[in-house]
Amino acid sequence: MSVSPSLSAVAADASTAAPTQADLLDFVRRTAADAELISSLPLDPEGRTWVRLEGPGGSEAWLIGWPPGTGTGWHDHAESVGAFLTARGALKEYSLAARLPTDGWKTLELADGIDRERSLTAGRGRAFGRHHVHEVLNESTEEHAVSVHAYYPPLPGIRRYSRTGRVLRLEQVERPEDWQ
């Protein structure tokens, strides 16, 4: 992974109210439509690149470049709600349509029928609630993808999981200080 240098931040809304999932989705949609910003993200052939943006109402926002074949692994965004949208290329999201317990477990056996899959081509995105467990991938073998993400409150942590069949295992909890 590489972190790209700072780019100009996208102006935040003047509103002081906490942004909703709909507000975040609107923000990522408007930001992804900024062709100059999207094309300014340096792309690395080996690893994801990202730049932090100023999101609405104090939210945390990111512009992310995805080389072919890269992904996030299974994770959630803890107490944050969020939205993301593909600005260029295509991403695939695999998610769980179930609310998981937030604490006190290391391994869960998942029920049948909770797996969801979405193809998110340029201009398509989604909003999600707290504890949304998913993984996002650029399954292309040739084309970079670029996406815009926003979270509120700013990410207090990310829980990372491994998955084997129906078994989901909590592997790691990352905090913002781990990303410096």
The pLDDT, as a whole number, for residue 102 is 74
**Residue 5 forms part of a structural domain:** no
**Residue 111 forms part of a structural domain:** yes
The pLDDT, as a whole number, for residue 2 is 44
Residue-number span of the structural domain to which 77 is assigned: 21-173
Closest CA to 136 of 179, 53, 75: 75
CATH number of the domain residue 166 falls in: 2.60.120.10
What percentage of the chain's residues is helix, strand, coil (to nearest 5)? 15, 40, 45
The pLDDT, as a whole number, for residue 180 is 59
- Annotate 85-152 with DSSP letters as a single string: EEEESEEEEEEESSPPPSSS-SEEEPPTT-EEEEEEETT-EEEE-TT--EEEE---SS--EEEEEEEE
Count of domains in the chain? 1
* Residue 109 to residues 97, 106, 116, 138, 170, Cα–Cα distance (Å): 14, 11, 16, 27, 12
**Residue 31 forms part of a structural domain:** yes
**Residue 118 forms part of a structural domain:** yes
The pLDDT, as a whole number, for residue 9 is 40
Q: Dmax over Cα atoms in the chain, in whole Å?
A: 46
Is the pTM higher than 0.75? The answer reads yes
Closest CA to 78 of 24, 158, 5: 158
3-state class of 64 per DSSP? strand
In whole angstroms, what is the distance from residue 137 CA to residue 85 CA? Answer: 13
**Residue 11 forms part of a structural domain:** no
The pLDDT, as a whole number, for residue 8 is 38
**Residue 14 forms part of a structural domain:** no
Q: Which amino acid is at 51?
A: V
Residues of the chain below pLDDT 50: 1-15
**Which tokens is 9 given?**
């931040």
**Residue 8 forms part of a structural domain:** no
Q: Return the half-sphere exposure (C-beta side, CA atoms, 13 A cut-off) of residue 11.
A: 3
**Residue 80 forms part of a structural domain:** yes
